[in-house]
């Protein structure tokens, strides 16, 4: 049975938002899985493109896949959902509260919409990391196996700074602390199929935090949420933010 989430104007000061590919779908970046079978992982095999083993076996193919996604991201622009979340961060901070924005997305559209603090638990497409020295830096161009690490000079160790299947997501301690102090948990545009992110709603509930899903269609873990709002993120997110903090 669904409990009614108790949130409204002036009531939620520490809001935890988890975003997934759905928040960037209307910016032209594909989602991973959908019910129509048109997601990125329906067209490409993640085991050949998004695992450390795939990179070790065939770095050219893996890097080319991320090069194409990086080029696509450069021509994408944030949509109304990204802008609304940036406005929410500013308003909560002005009132002495905080927005914790955790994204599974490797794009930078939240930042480009004005969000100042974004926790990228699956890494960032516009950064490269050296497997030899662990140095991380901004990388906006194509990546080639022949390129040297700008930090240590090693050739052949540069990879996209993203989390592949079988790797540990980033910032998990910080995320756990934020879940504990939240007074509302909202998941936006995520299918609830990839852990550990899919388990955050259960953690939030265990801490007594009301939970709400905003999605195009019900997530795999929809039954875990107290409340749900369905529709395109570019419409539903700005409407929800307006309910919380008033019109722009
Ligand atoms: P997903 O593709 O699994 O789900 C997308 C969700 O967005 C669905 O629930 C869909 O209904 C919804 N949606 C689609 N269009 C929407 C719209 N216009 N408005 C609102 N919602 C919309 O994406 P996910 O849940 O983010 O996937 C989990 C993560 O798995 C991904 O973010 C990705 O980071 C990840 N992953 C990727 C890699 C990689 O590429 N290296 C590796 C491991 C995991």
The pTM of this model reads: 0.93
Task: Retrieve residue 197's tokens.
Answer: 């992110």
Residue 10 pLDDT: 52
pLDDT tens figures, 57-103: 999 999 999 999 999 999 999 999 999 999 999 999 999 999 999 99
pLDDT tens figures, 128-170: 999 999 999 999 999 999 999 999 999 999 999 999 999 999 9
pLDDT band at 6 (very low <50, low <70, confident <90, very high): very low
The pair phi, psi for residue 226, each rounded to 5°, is -75, -30
Domains of the chain: 1-29+79-122+168-248 (3.40.50.1220), 35-75+126-162 (3.30.1600.10)
| pLDDT for 34 beyond 80 | no
Number of other residues whose CB lies within 10 A of the CB of residue 60: 9
> Annotated catalytic residue: which of 110, 120, 122, 161?
122
Residue 5 pLDDT: 42
37-56: b or e for each residue (b if 16 or more CB lie within 10 Å)?
A: eebbbeeeeeeebbbeebbe
Q: Write the residue with the smallest CA distance to atom 26 of ligand 1.
A: 20
Helices (H), the chain: 22-25, 40-43, 46-49, 52-57, 59-74, 80-94, 109-113, 172-181, 200-206, 233-245
* 3-class secondary structure, 76: coil
Which residues are CB-neighbours of 43 under 8 A, at least 6 positions away?
none
Q: Write the residue with the smallest CA distance to atom 22 of ligand 1.
A: 22
Residue 12 pLDDT: 62
Give the distance (Å) from ligand 1 centre to CA of residue 20: 5
Say yes or no: CB of residue 31 within 6 Å of ligand 1.
Answer: yes
Say yes or no: CB of residue 221 within 6 Å of ligand 1.
Answer: no
* 3-class secondary structure, 233: helix
| pLDDT for 17 beyond 80 | yes
40 neighbors 208 (Cβ within 8 angstroms): no
Q: Is 122 a catalytic residue?
A: yes
Give the distance (Å) from ligand 1 centre to CA of residue 33: 6
pLDDT band at 43 (very low <50, low <70, confident <90, very high): confident
């Amino acid at each position: 049975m669904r409990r009614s989430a108790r949130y409204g104007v002036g009531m939620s000061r520490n809001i935890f938002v988890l975003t997934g590919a759905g928040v960037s779908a209307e910016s032209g970046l594909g989602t991973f899985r959908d019910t129509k079978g048109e997601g990125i992982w329906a067209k490409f095999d993640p085991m050949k493109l998004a695992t450390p083993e795939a990179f070790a076996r065939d770095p050219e193919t893996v890097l080319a896949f991320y090069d194409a996604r990086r080029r696509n991201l450069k021509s994408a622009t944030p949509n109304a959902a990204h802008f609304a979340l940036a406005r929410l961060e500013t308003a909560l901070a002005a009132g002495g509260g905080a927005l914790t924005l955790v994204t599974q997305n490797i794009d930078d559209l939240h930042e480009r919409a004005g969000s100042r603090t974004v926790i990228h638990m699956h890494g960032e497409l516009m950064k490269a990391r050296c497997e030899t020295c662990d140095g991380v830096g901004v990388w906006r161009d194509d990546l080639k196996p022949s390129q040297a690490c700008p930090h240590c000079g090693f050739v052949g160790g540069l990879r996209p700074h993203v989390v592949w299947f079988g790797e540990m997501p980033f910032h998990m301690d910080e995320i756990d602390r934020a879940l504990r102090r939240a007074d509302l948990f909202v998941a936006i545009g995520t299918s609830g199929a990839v852990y550990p992110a899919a388990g955050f709603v259960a953690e939030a509930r265990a801490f007594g935090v009301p939970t709400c899903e905003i999605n195009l269609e019900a997530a795999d873990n929809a039954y875990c949420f107290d409340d749900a709002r369905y529709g395109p993120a570019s419409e539903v997110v700005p409407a929800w933010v307006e309910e919380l903090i008033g019109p722009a």
